[in-house]
Amino acid sequence: MRKLYFVPMIHMGADMGSLAPALDERATAELGPELWQKHKEVVCGFWDSIARFFDSLDGTGFKVYQDGLVADGEGALKIVNQGIREGSRNYQVISHLLQRGAILIKTEDISLVKEEYAYIAKVAHAKSLRQREIAALRYRLAQGRLLQQRDSFIANRINETLREGETGILFIGAYHNVVPRLAADIKVIQVKEVAKVKAYHQALTKARKYDQRLHEFAGYLISSIVNNSS
């Protein structure tokens, strides 16, 4: 039996690299400064919870698979360190795991990641509403195909590199669908329930203020994690 801890992620702005300022400005305009600021606080609380959970595990020999990670070895470490410099809590958690004996594994196909990034960049940097609508439409038309191709590649990497008796961790955006593509002998442990992470995100995009429903979803995201993997 192989074991995989599954972390359905909420991305921070720092995870988006050079696109972060434009995406932050766009989100502030769409959600309002107060709601967007509250969301950023929730995301920090989410990562505090994730960090405490993995700090409680031994971690030695764990194989770490990361959304968007297109390199291994020194190249992967450079990506992690750059993410930490930009304030990524995701990469901070990974760095702590590596310091305690975890192993970082190349997870994605660089051509697919670059293609999706290019679509997102065009939306983020659009100069007018018309340009943004066109860029967003083109991205939506390509998004399903790209997500399926990326998820298949990620699942194949895990299936091929996670050996019998080993434990892995997958940090992946909540809207990916990797789990059904994994080998049957891989036991998946949801560190946070993907349905609840997606429910929070969907409530956020429809909210006009930080209401009770959003508060309840946020409470789950920042809550402590119980290890029931044994």
Q: What is the pLDDT of residues 59-75, one digit of tens each?
A: 999 999 999 999 989 99
**Higher model confidence: residue 42 or residue 33?**
42
Please tell me whether the overall predicted TM-score, pTM, comes out greater than 0.85 for this model.
yes
Nearest to 15 by CA among 93, 73, 109: 93
**Higher model confidence: residue 39 or residue 158?**
158
Secondary structure element (H or E) that encloses residue 23, with its range: helix 20-31
Res. 150 pLDDT band, cuts 50 70 90: very high
Q: What is the DSSP letter of 185?
A: T
Report pLDDT for 54: 97
Instruction: Report the alpha-carbon distance of residue 95 to residue 110 in Å, rounded.
Output: 22
The residue-averaged pLDDT of 171-185 equals: 95
Report pLDDT for 17: 54
Report pLDDT for 13: 53
Report pLDDT for 33: 79
**Higher model confidence: residue 160 or residue 119?**
160
Q: What is the pLDDT of residues 180-222, one digit of tens each?
A: 999 999 999 999 999 999 999 888 888 777 778 888 999 999 9
Report pLDDT for 23: 55
- Asked whether residue 111 carries a pLDDT value surpassing 70, the answer given is yes
- Asked whether residue 21 carries a pLDDT value surpassing 70, the answer given is no
Calculate ∠ Cα 142-148-153, nearest 5°.
Answer: 125
Instruction: Report the alpha-carbon distance of residue 34 to residue 37 in Å, rounded.
Output: 5
- Asked whether residue 18 carries a pLDDT value surpassing 60, the answer given is no
- Asked whether residue 151 carries a pLDDT value surpassing 60, the answer given is yes
The residue-averaged pLDDT of 141-150 equals: 92
**Higher model confidence: residue 87 or residue 179?**
179
Nearest to 150 by CA among 124, 181, 186: 181
Asked if 44 contacts 218 with a C-beta cutoff of 8 angstroms, the reply is: no
